[in-house]
Structure 1
Amino acid sequence: MLIYIHGFNSSPESYKASLLKSCADKINMPDILEIPALSFDPAVATDQLLKIVQKYQQHNAMRPLCFIGSSLGGYYATWLAEKFDSRVVLINPAVKPYELFEDYLGFNRNIYTGEEYMLTMEHVEQLKKYRVKEITKPDRYLLMVQTGDEVLDYNQALEKYAAVPSIVEEGGGHEFIEFDRHLETVLAFCGINCLKAYS
């Protein structure tokens, strides 16, 4: 079971989410992938994710669980991976999103969904609850960063996940340009052979 966690002001219709959905459909396993539309509110978003994991554990306990997190989703995915001892792929992850959120206080609008909302210091403080101080099992992580990320400082990710297997590409951007080149690697790391058509 793969759970893709999108970033701040993103949605299940984003670039990487769409590529993952297409790949799951191609190998006839659309049910392996869950891409929730997460709330901007950290407390609500993490509750949404925990409910998805709980549902998975009740019905698909034999299938390995893997999180794929992009940007803010990478921050949540790290917390979930440590909580549930699962594999995780991090794509240009946010390491200290509570610092970045301060630049977005006030009125915001999600470019994908059109949702309008107010971001407050309470939301910033909520984010701090999901900080992971130590990566306990680096081998269950895969870090992917592009140095041309115009939103986040990729060096923070390299420092935070120093012991983690990594793909570091020069240039690129925050959305991880040409992510499709790595789909097979990402899915293989999560235990899915995307070269095989499942029945």
Structure 2
Amino acid sequence: MFLYIHGFNSSSQAGKAQELKRWLEARHRGHEWIAPDLPDRPAQAIALLSELIERAETPPKLIGSSLGGFYATHLVAQYKLKAALINPAVHPGLLLRPVVGTVQKNWHEESQTYTFTQDHLDELIALDQLSPQHPQNMLLMLENGDKTLDWRDATGYYRDAHQLVFQGGNHGFTRFRDVIDLIDRF
């Protein structure tokens, strides 16, 4: 079973989430796909993801993209699951500080807006870890062409995790289709 965790202001309609769904369906494993639309509040998102993990019949493998990679890192510490982290956000409480007070909208449903507040930031800071726990359970995948997040921050933070750094690409991780099989075997 795979639990896909989307990034900041994204949804289950994200390209990687849908690519994973198609990959699983082509192998008659569509029932293994879970990709919830997460609330914008980090504490609520973690509560929803924790509930899905605890209700699962078998421990899911996490795939977290961007902010979803940060959430997956927290969940690995809590549940000792395996996770593939795709261009993950490192210390998003620092990264997102400049957007406090701004109106945000969902990439896939532009009518869904909210104001990013200090409470959002405080919840991210509360979830952060000085260093990731159980790094042996993490497969870090980065494209160094990511202009949204600096890939070098992730290689340093996840230094004890399994790492693959690809040349070029972007924040959306252009090689996702090519690495699903590897993620499945991890």
Q: Please tell me the TM-score bracket, short chain as reference.
A: over 0.9
Q: C-alpha displacement at 1:178, in angstroms? A: 2.6
Residue 84 of structure 2 is matched in structure 1 by 89
Which one-letter code corresponds to 2:83 in the other structure? Answer: V
- SS class of match (1:175): coil
Which one-letter code corresponds to 2:164 in the other structure? Answer: I
Which one-letter code corresponds to 2:130 in the other structure? Answer: K
The 5 A counterparts of 1:47-196 are: 47-56=47-56, 60=57, 63-105=58-100, 106-114=102-110, 115-189=112-186
Could you report, residue by residue, the CA deviation over 1:120-177 in whole angstroms, capped at 9, with x for unpaired residues?
1111011011112233432211000011111001111000111111110111100001
Could you report, residue by residue, the CA deviation over 1:76-122 in whole angstroms, capped at 9, with x for unpaired residues?
00000110011011000001111122222221111212211111111
Question: How far apart are the structure 1 equivalents of 2:96 and 2:134?
Answer: 28
Question: How far apart are the structure 1 equivalents of 2:97 and 2:125?
Answer: 12
Residue 27 of structure 2 is matched in structure 1 by 27
2:76–2:134 CA contact under 8 A, matched in 1 = no
> Based on CA coordinates, which of the two structures has the bigger radius of gyration?
1
Paired residues, number = 184
In structure 2, stretches of 5+ residues that fail to align are: none
Which one-letter code corresponds to 1:93 in the other structure? Answer: P
Sequence identity percentage:
33
User: C-alpha root-mean-square deviation of aligned residues, in Å?
Assistant: 1.2
Which one-letter code corresponds to 1:156 in the other structure? Answer: D
Could you report, residue by residue, the CA deviation over 1:30-86 in whole angstroms, capped at 9, with x for unpaired residues?
121210000111111111111111211xxx1xx342111000000000000110011
Question: Scaled by the length of structure 1, what TM-score is found?
Answer: 0.89
Runs (4+) of structure 1 exceeding 4 A deviation are none
With CA pairs under 8 Å and 6+ residues apart, which has the higher RCO, 1 or 2?
1
Question: How far apart are the structure 2 equivalents of 1:178 and 1:156?
Answer: 20
